[in-house]
């Protein structure tokens, strides 16, 4: 029952965040890039480090934050990680690293997960990113660009995203 209340609160929070979104920076050139990744889909997050080189960004300007459904018993060195226990039943995030990530004003933020995902959708809606990219099948209200690709093929995604960002004037 609490899980149902929690998910309903997450949806209400997403709706509220979408109404409050500032789109004044949507056309800025990309200097920073962020990824919100579902670890249930991709465990090797190092694949996103190559985006800095391919997009002519500094490695420090590409950040990856991941979501894991349940916290593993084994300790992890990963600080940029959140799980379902980090969300209150009111839809608030109780992970300081996640809050700091979402407050960062990324020029482009990629929601790297399939379909609708209440926890990651909330994080995308809460983010201060100027331009948001996602995959088809998700909540279309969250994104400025929706890609119809298989997220498991990161190489194809990297190439397609680069093409779109160049067309939109975000990459030179």
Q: What is the pTM of this model?
A: 0.91
CA distance 49 to 62: 7
pLDDT for position 69? 82
Residue 145: C-alpha distances to residues 69, 73, 141 (Å)? 26, 37, 10
pLDDT, residue 4, reads 80
**Cβ pair 101, 79 in contact under 8 A:** no
What does the pLDDT read at residue 43?
85
Distance, in Å, from the CA atom of 38 to the CA atom of 66, rounded to the nearest integer, reads: 6
pLDDT tens string, the chain, 172 residues long: the values are: 677 888 888 889 999 999 999 888 899 999 999 999 999 898 889 999 999 999 999 999 999 999 998 766 555 556 789 998 999 888 889 999 999 999 999 999 999 999 999 999 999 999 999 999 999 999 999 999 999 999 999 999 999 999 999 999 998 7
- Which pLDDT score is estimated for 7? 81
DSSP the chain: -HHHHHHHHHHHHHHHHHHT---TTTTPPPS-EEEEEETTT---GGGGGHHHHHTT--GGGEEEEEEESS--SS-----SEEEGGGB-TTS-B--HHHHHHHHS--SEEEEESSS--HHHHHHHHH---SEEEEETTS-GGG-SEEE-S-TT-HHHHHHHHHHHHHHTTS--
Contact 132, 14 (CB under 8 A): no
CATH code given to domain 2-167 = 3.40.50
Q: How many CB atoms lie within 10 A of CB 149?
A: 14
pLDDT for 71: 67
């Amino acid at each position: 029952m609490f899980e149902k209340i929690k998910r309903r609160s997450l949806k209400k929070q997403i709706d509220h965040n979408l109404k409050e979104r500032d789109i004044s920076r949507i056309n800025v050139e990309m200097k920073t890039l962020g990824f919100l990744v579902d670890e249930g889909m991709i465990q090797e997050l190092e694949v996103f480090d190559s985006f800095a080189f391919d997009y002519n960004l500094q490695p420090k300007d590409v950040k990856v934050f991941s979501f894991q459904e349940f916290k593993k018993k084994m300790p992890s060195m990963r600080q940029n990680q959140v799980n379902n226990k980090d969300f209150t039943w009111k839809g608030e995030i109780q992970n300081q690293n996640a809050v700091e990530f979402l407050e960062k004003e990324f020029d482009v933020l990629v929601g790297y997960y399939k379909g609708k995902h209440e926890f990651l959708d909330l994080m995308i809606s809460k983010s201060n990113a100027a331009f948001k990219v996602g995959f088809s099948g998700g909540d279309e209200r969250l994104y400025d660009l929706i890609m119809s690709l298989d997220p498991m093929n990161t190489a194809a995604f990297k190439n397609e995203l680069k093409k779109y960002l160049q067309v939109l004037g975000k990459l030179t």
